[in-house]
Amino acid sequence: MLTARTIDRIVTLALDEDAPWGDLTSETLIPADAVATADLVAREDGVFAGGEVFAAAFRLTDPAIEVGLHVADGGRFIAGRRLATVTGPAQGVLTAERIGLNFAQRMSGIATLTARYVDAIAGTGARIVDTRKTTPLLRAFERHAVAAGGGHNHRFSLSDAVMAKDNHLGVLTATGADLTDALREAIARLPHTAHVEVEVDRVDQIEAVVAAGIGTIMLDNFTVDQLREGVATVAGRAQIEASGGVSLDTVRQIAETGVDVISVGALTHSARALDLGLDLRIDLGR
């Protein structure tokens, strides 16, 4: 997902938003021949993500700027750790600073939160996945950060897989059709092989869905006891995803019910930006 083309396209848009007609402050106050060296430093413990995105902010501002990454995406660090070093024309370094930091802080925050969820369910056999609750246009960045934190990516877009939720099922069975038959007929119309997932919100819906040969069944907003009952009902005939009401306080209990996947929208919609800083030193003449 995180291709060079995607990075350059999104970072260019961000730079254009921040300095549409140039950086008036840096161009006014900073001598053109000034050189800056800056260290990206962690102010708190965390998991790094977005190194290539961070570097792109400086490279696209001024190709003369060099960025050395000292921690790879997915690397854990403690407060005070130097994560990257930036060297080059000071005007460009100062122009790109905020955009580079914004992306690194956002992505590292997501990676750090994801790692906490992954650590919380260690040894259970379940895996943590993200959702489509991402910032518009930043999905590739945020999904990459989830993977850096040890999580897994759900379908990337509506084009990747069939995922029928309650509203889809309501329309599908509006004429009173049997749910199992309706699902089978719908799946038979697929133009190509695709993974199919169906959401249920009651235990008594499970059998009709599993009987249709669904690949994954999502148990939405089930209690822990209901999840156990759902796992027993499915009995290995489909992959089981738990969704809704997941937090760091509840995720271990959910994982121990025997579900295969736990989807957590909070990984991307509620992650706090990690506290990273750019400590800068300027040489006023070469």
Active site (catalytic) residues = 98, 133, 165, 199, 220
CB 241 within 8 A of CB 217: yes
- 56 Ramachandran zone, left/alpha/beta (phi>0; psi -120 to 50): alpha
Alpha helices by DSSP H, listed for 121-172, are 139-148, 166-172
**Residue 80 neighbours by CB distance under 10 Å:** 10
Location of structure tokens 């990676």: 111
- Pick the closest to residue 270 from 252, 247, 239, 251 (CA basis): 247
CA 192, CA 186: separation in Å to the nearest integer?
12
- Pick the closest to residue 283 from 85, 35, 60 (CA basis): 35
Beta bridge partners of 199: 218
Rg value, the chain, Cα: 23
